[in-house]
Amino acid sequence: MCLDEVYSSWSEFAKIVQTEIFPIYTSHEEKFDQYGIHGKMHISRALIFAEVLSRCYLSLGVTVDLLAVRLSTAFHDSGRQGNGTDIWENESVKICETHLMSRCDDKYRSYIASLISKSTGEWDVNKHIMHDADVLEIMRPCAGHGGISGFQRRYLNFASDRDPYFALFTDPITTREKLINESWKFIYKTENIKSGLVNSKHYLEDVTSILKNHLLELSFLNSYFP
């Protein structure tokens, strides 16, 4: 692995997302995603959820590759050419690999990109985290699934009996419900200000500030966010 250390710092990574990754999603919003269903807000929240999940597992003693999770989550919808069912995963994989070209060795680059694909690669903890972060985001109102009331919990592996690390949780049921309920509150709060952030030059930081401004109401998310 030979990625610059800047990628492993959340604050520095946020800058890279703004300058190198968000332009992809801005283009999507201009071409086919005017309502931002899979745009910058979706990616911002997915990145925040992935970070929370990663650090929760780390607190349990599980080895997590924060860098791989961040990058795969950031690029997981980059290849989209429309909304609805994602039939462009392979394109997202290619875009992720291209971004990492010359920044890390072939094996690690391929591994990071493989986390995006649901049909190939090993379902290790990093892939589960990226998947679960995206699953939590399905509660967003613009996705048309009815918010938290329509959330299908069976697709969320975290702290369920399908989680390989289920036994490590002291109170998995409570932990899982805190994550779901606070994720919905965060989605609702940030969705309401989405239109005002369209031209933000610090988009991810602005979304993150909403989380940090609600320390008590979003205590679980904040307890694991850097």
Whether 2 shows a pLDDT value over 70: the answer reads no
**Token pair listed for 125:** 């903890």
- Kindly tell me if the per-residue pLDDT of 217 is higher than 90: yes
In the structure encoding, which two tokens stand for residue 152, read together?
């299908």
If you search the block for the tokens 């309920």, which residue do you land on? 181
Residue 70 near residue 50, CB atoms below 8 Å? yes
Res. 121 pLDDT band, cuts 50 70 90: confident
Question: Hey, what are 73's tokens?
Answer: 């989550």
Closest CA relative to residue 171, chosen from 45, 49, 47, 56: 56
Q: Please tell me the CATH code under which domain 15-224 is placed.
A: 1.10.3210
The C-alpha atoms of residue 49 and residue 71 are separated, in whole angstroms, by 13
pTM: 0.95
Q: Could you tell me the residue ranges of all domains in the chain?
A: 15-224
